[in-house]
């Protein structure tokens, strides 16, 4: 998921890790490839707007939220309550949408975060 994002982005990497944790949990519970895909989509559908603010103390909270989103994503899948195309950034190519959001959509966000951090 991180590949289309690029080297530097305001997109929080914990989002990808949390979705990966959810996928791993789904796999360990015997989920099919389709169910694992739904788990990932459900997870990033919740947390994909989270920003990185420079690896500060808030990372622990962001990691916890992202892993929780991964678990929730799997639980949603198990009950057939998956996000559908058109639910926010979820679409036929959700991970490509996340990449676009992170790479193009957060260019200005990255600049603003750096400006804020320099002032502090």
The tens digit of pLDDT for each residue in 5-14 reads 666 678 888 8
Q: What is the 3-state composition of the chain as percent helix, strand, coil, each rounded to the nearest 5? A: 65, 0, 30
| CA 85/CA 60 separation, integer angstroms | 30
- Torsion of the alpha carbons at 100, 101, 104 and 109, rounded to the nearest 10: -160
Q: pLDDT 10s digit of each residue in the chain, 120 long?
A: 456 666 667 888 889 899 999 999 999 999 999 999 999 999 999 998 898 877 778 889 999 999 999 999 999 999 999 999 999 889 999 988 988 888 888 888 888 888 888 886
Which residues, at least 6 apart from 118, have a Cβ–Cβ distance to it below 8 Å?
A: none
């Amino acid at each position: 998921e991180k590949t289309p994002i690029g080297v530097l982005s305001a997109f929080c990497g914990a989002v990808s890790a949390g979705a990966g944790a959810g996928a791993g949990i789904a796999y360990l519970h015997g989920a099919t490839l389709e169910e694992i895909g739904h788990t990932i989509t459900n997870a990033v559908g919740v947390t994909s707007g989270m920003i990185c603010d420079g690896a500060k103390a808030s990372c622990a909270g962001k990691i916890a939220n992202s892993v929780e989103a991964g678990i929730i994503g799997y639980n949603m899948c198990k009950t057939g309550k998956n996000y559908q195309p058109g639910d926010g950034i979820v679409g036929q190519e959700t991970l490509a949408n996340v990449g676009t959001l992170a790479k193009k959509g957060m260019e200005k966000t990255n600049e603003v975060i750096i400006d804020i951090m320099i002032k502090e």
